[in-house]
Amino acid sequence: MKTQKEKKSKKESPLGHKVWGGRFREGPDEIVDRFNASLHFDRHLYSQDIKGSVAHCRMLAKQKIISQKEAKQIIEALNGIKGEMDRGDFSIDGSCEDIHSAVEKALVKRIGEIGEKLHTGRSRNDQVALDVRMYVREAIDRTITLIKGMQMALIDLAGKNLDLVLPGYTHLQRAQPVLLSHHLLAYVEMLKRDRQRFQETHKRVNIMPLGSAALAGSTFDLDRDMVAGELGFDDISKNSMDAVSDRDFVLEFLFAAATLMMHLSRMSEEMVIWSSQEFRFVKLPDALCTGSSIMPQKKNPDLPELVRGKTGRVYGHLMALLITMKGLPLTYNKDMQEDKEGLFDTVDTVELCLTVMTRLFEEITFNGERMKEAVKRGYLPATDLADYLVGKGVTFRQAHETVGKIVLYAMDKKKELDQLGLDEMKAFAKQIDKDVFEWLDPELCIKRRELPGGTGPEAVRKRLDEAKGEIEP
User: Catalytic residue positions?
Assistant: 171, 292
- Contacts made by residues 63-66, CB under 8 angstroms, sequence distance 24+: 63/220, 63/221, 63/222, 63/223, 65/120, 65/121, 65/220, 65/221, 66/117, 66/120
Pairing relationship of beta strands 207-208 and 235-236 according to DSSP bridges:
parallel
Amino acid code (one letter) for 39: L
What is the C-alpha to C-alpha distance for residues 353 and 157, in angstroms, rounded to an integer? 19
Per the CB < 8 A criterion, the answer to whether 158 and 191 are in contact is: no
Amino acid code (one letter) for 412: D
Q: Which DSSP helix (H) or strand (E) runs through 236?
A: strand 235-236
Among residues 371, 439, 364, 454, the alpha carbon closest in space to that of 165 is found at: 371
Q: Which DSSP helix (H) or strand (E) runs through 177?
A: strand 173-179
> Chain centroid to CA 97: how far?
30
What is the C-alpha to C-alpha distance for residues 325 and 336, in angstroms, rounded to an integer? 7
What value, to the nearest 5°, has the Cα angle with vertex 321 and ends 315 and 324? 140
What is the C-alpha to C-alpha distance for residues 99 and 93, in angstroms, rounded to an integer? 9
Q: Which residues pair with 207 in a beta bridge?
A: 235
What is the C-alpha to C-alpha distance for residues 391 and 420, in angstroms, rounded to an integer? 20
Q: b/e map of 308-324 (b: 16 or more CB within 10 Å)?
A: bebbeebbebbeebeeb
What is the C-alpha to C-alpha distance for residues 460 and 178, in angstroms, rounded to an integer? 10
384 CB contacts (<8 Å, ≥6 apart)? 439, 440, 445, 448
Per the CB < 8 A criterion, the answer to whether 251 and 318 are in contact is: yes
Q: How many residues does the chain have?
A: 473
What is the C-alpha to C-alpha distance for residues 210 and 130, in angstroms, rounded to an integer? 6
Give φ, ψ of 117 to 5 degrees. -80, -15
What is the C-alpha to C-alpha distance for residues 427 and 408, in angstroms, rounded to an integer? 14
